[in-house]
Copies of this chain bind each other. A is one copy, B any other.
Amino acid sequence: MELQEILDIFLTNDNFTILTHKSPDGDTLGSGFALCSFLRDMGKHANVLNSDQLPSRYAFLFEGYRPQEFEEKYVVAVDIADPNLIGSNLLQYQQQGAVDLCIDHHISNKNFADKTYVDGDASAAAMIIYEIIKLSGRPISDHIAKCLYTGVATDTGCFKYENTTPKTHIIAAELMAYNIDFANINREMFDVKSRGRMQVEQTVISRMKYYFEGRCSMIVLTKQLMAQCGVDQSEFDGLASIPLCVEGVDIGITVKERHTDYYKISVRTTDKLNAAEFCQQFGGGGHIRAAGCEIQGTLEQVEKQLLDGAAKLFEV
């Protein structure tokens, strides 16, 4: 598919439903609401749907947004690699043939839509939406620019991660020509944390353990500890990067109790070790620097297995 073909779809159809993925992030919401604004600005009807409640930290992306009433005629999924990610409250869209077009940047995309456009080189789905809108030659509103910048910035860790490309920076530069308070967006997206999250991070850092002369660090989240913190369960998401933030650590392991004697393990490594290889020892897998696995047993057994597995990495 060419971008022009997608643009033609938007120009010649109407009554769009835009699907964004469950547990929404800045890229799916930024892409979805940018596309919705673009379509509405052209006089088309369009709504954005999500299976979950939209987190308030993204409220600036949908400020003033009101759902429109119309008979749905065209369904577009943005940033959704797998129909399961549409979520349990939008089951009807998970059926074969329910999605007309999917615009995505995950090469793992399951090709579940009638038409699929995947650009694996795009750092964010928002970059593809930007190119479509640019191709149209139509004006880009400040709101659209804000949505797209947020998508690009959040999916690249503010241009920090490996998936950032020269094009990512060029697009950021172009979006900054609009009236977007990017510094405030970045502060909200990257710096601000809830009090509960601050407390959780403080707790795990104070209990972090170090092994192999500080090259391996581990945090353990038992159900008991999580209950003691007295904060929302979601505050315990995305902690896996913390153990690797300590100077000298090459493998950071996060152990999270799922059920009694059943633990989910998240592993992050520097370029010196292979996280996927480590997790394969326990039937898991993933990427070179980020992988996971699940292990059954008592906490002591699980920790011992993980440390035995880590020992193999450090053997020469």
Contact = CB atoms under 8 A, between A and B. Distances in A.
A174 B164 contact: no
A172 B159 contact: yes
A168 B177 CA distance: 13
A202 B194 contact: no
A96 B12 CA distance: 71
Interface in A149-173: 157-162, 164-170, 172-173
How many chain A residues sit at the interface, stated as a range, is: 35 or more
B192 A245 contact: yes
Most chain B CB neighbours (cut-off 10 Å) among A191, A214, A248: A191
Interface stretch (A181-189, A256-264, A294-302): A181-189
Contact of A159 (B159, B165, B187, B205): B159
A308 interface: no
B183 A162 contact: yes
Nearest to A176: B166
A183 B169 contact: no
Nearest to A172: B169
A174 B166 CA distance: 7
B195 A183 contact: no
A193 B249 CA distance: 10
25 contacts: A159-B169, A159-B172, A160-B186, A160-B187, A160-B191, A162-B183, A164-B176, A166-B172, A166-B176, A169-B172, A169-B173, A184-B270, A184-B271, A191-B245, A192-B245, A194-B246, A195-B214, A195-B246, A195-B248, A198-B205, A198-B245, A198-B246, A202-B202, A202-B205, A206-B206
Nearest to A198: B205
Given A169-B169, A170-B173, A191-B241, A182 B164 contact: yes
